[in-house]
Amino acid sequence: MLIPCPHCGPRDVGEFTYGGDATKERPDPESASAEDWCDYVFHRDNPRGRHVEYWHHGQGCRLWLKVTRDTVTHKIEGTELVGPWAESAPKQGRDVA
Ligand SMILES: [Zn+2]
């Protein structure tokens, strides 16, 4: 599977580390209960089909990406850089082969 990093271009999935479900929202530390944190940290869905995930390009630019992927076909609809550096990071605009 190739992941099209917006910074580096298409790269083998072996260069990346899966970072979890990108649709979960971090609880508010001021008001979250222990159950809220337990759900956020430990409970995961196992979706079939389109899913948005975090991936870290550890053997490339070392940036975090949000990847929209079909969990059945592994077809990737799109990727985007995430984090405070995303706006200023250079983009090469390469497509998946
Ligand atoms: Zn990269």
pLDDT band at 95 (very low <50, low <70, confident <90, very high): very low
**64 three-state secondary structure:** strand
What digits encode the pLDDT tens for the residues 28-71? 999 999 999 999 999 988 899 999 999 999 999 999 999 999 99
Cα-to-centroid distance, 71 and ligand 1 (Å): 21
- Total-model pTM: 0.81
Query: What are the residues whose beta carbon lies below 5 Å from ligand 1 (ion)?
Result: 5, 7-8, 57, 60-61
Cα-to-centroid distance, 64 and ligand 1 (Å): 8
Cα 49 from Cα 73, distance rounded (Å):
8
